[in-house]
Amino acid sequence: MAASIEFLQASPYFAGMTEPEIEVISGLFFQKTIEKGEKITWQGDPGEALYFVASGAVKCFKTSPEGKEQILQIVLPGNSFNDVAVFDGGLSPTSTEAMSLVNLYVISRSDMGGILTDHPKIMINVIDILSSKIRHLLELVEDLSFRQVIGRIARILLEYADGAGPKPKLTQHEMAALAGTAREVVGRSLKTLQGDGMIRMERNRLVIADKEALSQMVNAHS
């Protein structure tokens, strides 16, 4: 099934394309539904397709030889993944997995290349998107290099409680994989934050009770 016209019109990749142009390219996409917990791509595979998240959330992660996971990005609706391997023709640098039931629009590398050749005006969109992804990764490097673990966890909590759009629920394992630390450290940090009155654990809800103090914790631990 082709991608929805409305979805492609709202995608930053295709900003500036006319409706008739979008209608033509929509036929190049196919839809894919992935169950929660199912892998979508594997690190080291050829980058044969570009994926757009229509609904749900996808985590992009790397796994160390010891099995430690580092989440690099959680991709939310409207955004894409596997861009790097599609554009440089190399292998996928990360694996991806559905964090919920996910609906994807998928386009092959060759069809995406054809769109760029036929519509060079959208090259600037690609530059914007890749720049934004580099900026995100630089923030992650800064976080892992300079911020202490509890500050990283405070930042993750604030980011995932942000009201802008639906966000996936996170396990403590996933918080650890986002923060580049061990799960046990996350458990201890959450207890500390709870003891200081910044958060409250209510069964399967983690409530930020003092947003101001938590924000200060992010900045204090950098």
Residues that bind other proteins (CB under 8 A): 37, 157, 160-161, 163, 167, 169-173, 183-184, 187, 200-201, 203-209, 211
Please state, in angstroms and rounded to a whole number, the distance separating the CA atoms of residues 114 and 109.
Answer: 9
Q: Give the shortest CB-142-to-other proteins separation in angstroms.
A: 22
As a whole number of angstroms, the distance between CA 95 and CA 42 comes to 4
Query: Whose Cβ is closer to other proteins: residue 136's or residue 200's?
Result: 200
Identify which of residues 44 and 187 has a Cβ nearer to other proteins in the complex. 187
Map tokens 């996928």 to a residue: 92
CB 64, min distance to other proteins, A: 15
**Intra-chain end-to-end CA distance of the chain, in Å:** 47
Nearest to other proteins of 143, 174 (CB atom): 174
Query: Least distance from C-beta 130 to other proteins, angstroms?
Result: 29
Angle, helices 172-179 vs 183-195, to 10°: value is: 100
Q: How far is CA 222 from CA 47, 142, 151, 180, in A?
A: 36, 9, 7, 15
Residue 65 or 163: the one with the smaller Cβ distance to other proteins is: 163
- Count other C-beta atoms under 10 Å from residue 42's C-beta: 13
Other CB atoms within 10 A of residue 72 CB:
17
From the CB of 199, what's the least distance to other proteins, in Å?
Answer: 9
Other CB atoms within 10 A of residue 121 CB:
11
Which CB, 93 or 168, lies closer to other proteins?
168
Extract the tokens encoding 169: 């629920």
Q: Which residue type sits at 185?
A: V
- Residue 111 CB, nearest distance to other proteins (Å)? 33
Residues 6+ apart with CB under 8 A from 136: 73
Give min distance, CB of 190 to other proteins, in A: 9
Closer CB to other proteins, residue 135 or residue 169?
169
Joined together, the tokens standing for residue 25 give 């390219």
